[in-house]
Amino acid sequence: MASIRILGISGSLRRGSHNTSLLRAAARSLPPGVELELYDGLGDLPHYNEDLDHEPLPAAVARLRGAIAAADGLLIATPEYNGSIPGVLKNAVDWASRPFPDNAVKGKPVAVIGASTGLFGAVWAQAETRKALQIAGADVLEGEVPVGQAHVAFTSDGHLTEPEIQSALDELVGVLAARAGASSAAAALPETSAIAAPRAA
């Protein structure tokens, strides 16, 4: 059983999404002992509304927050819609960001990647997703993986065609796995062990 769990969130609800394909490609780059689970509940979330943000929470919100809390790290693949984050993904980040500051993403290692059919590979959407998650308190990795012309970026069996993009993905996913592993190990430590004094003989 894998001990490190990464939750993969695609910012596209589209069947056949290139961003979901990118997450599947990323799953193949993970080191042994690390697994990626694809989250499928973004489309069930209501629009963010503070009037709904109390117990009992809408089931889709409770599920999202629970899945994030249970993961050691997040990998988010975002398309770019009109130069920005798709509404469905921003909505999920908004739900995940509350209650602030003790929310499910607080201190959580997160990497953001993205694919678009334009030339630039959703770089604006990736930057804005990182910004929103930083403001929410996540431990957001610096790197990005822009996959431009996504309609021709994958082979029929889902592998990336460009070795440079595959290398960038391998590198970012490797850093995320290491950061998630460290975070998971720290969470497993008893609270006192980091400051325990050596025992007298």
Nearer to ligand FNR, 17 or 166 (CB): 17
**Closest distance to ligand FNR from the beta carbon of 150 (Å):** 5
Residue numbers at the binding site for ligand FNR (CB under 6 A):
12, 14, 17-19, 79-83, 115-118, 150
8 or 181, CB closer to ligand FNR? 8
CB of 20 to ligand FNR, least distance (A): 6
Q: How far is the CB of 183 from ligand FNR (least distance, A)?
A: 28
Q: Which residue is nearest to ligand FNR (CB)?
A: 118
Q: Exposure pattern of 77-91 as b/e (b: 16+ CB <10 Å)?
A: bbbbbeeebbebbbb
Tell me, what amino acid is at 32? P
Q: Which is nearer to ligand FNR, 118 or 137 (CB)?
A: 118
Closer residue to ligand FNR in complex, CB, 10/103? 10
Q: Which is nearer to ligand FNR, 19 or 97 (CB)?
A: 19
**Minimum gap (Å) between residue 147 Cβ and ligand FNR:** 10
Minimum distance from CB of 115 to ligand FNR (Å)?
6
Residue with smaller CB distance to ligand FNR, 13 or 59:
13
Q: Following DSSP, what letter does each residue of the chain receive, concatenated?
A: --SEEEEEEES---TT-HHHHHHHHHHTTPPTTEEEEE---GGGPPPP-GGG-SSSPPHHHHHHHHHHHH-SEEEEEE--BTTB--HHHHHHHHHHT-SSSS-TTTT-EEEEEEE-SSSS-SHHHHHHHHHHHHHHT-EE-S---EE-SGGGSB-TTS-BS-HHHHHHHHHHHHHHHHHHHHHHHHHHS-TTGGGPPPPP-
Q: How far apart are CA 125 and CA 134, in angstroms?
A: 14
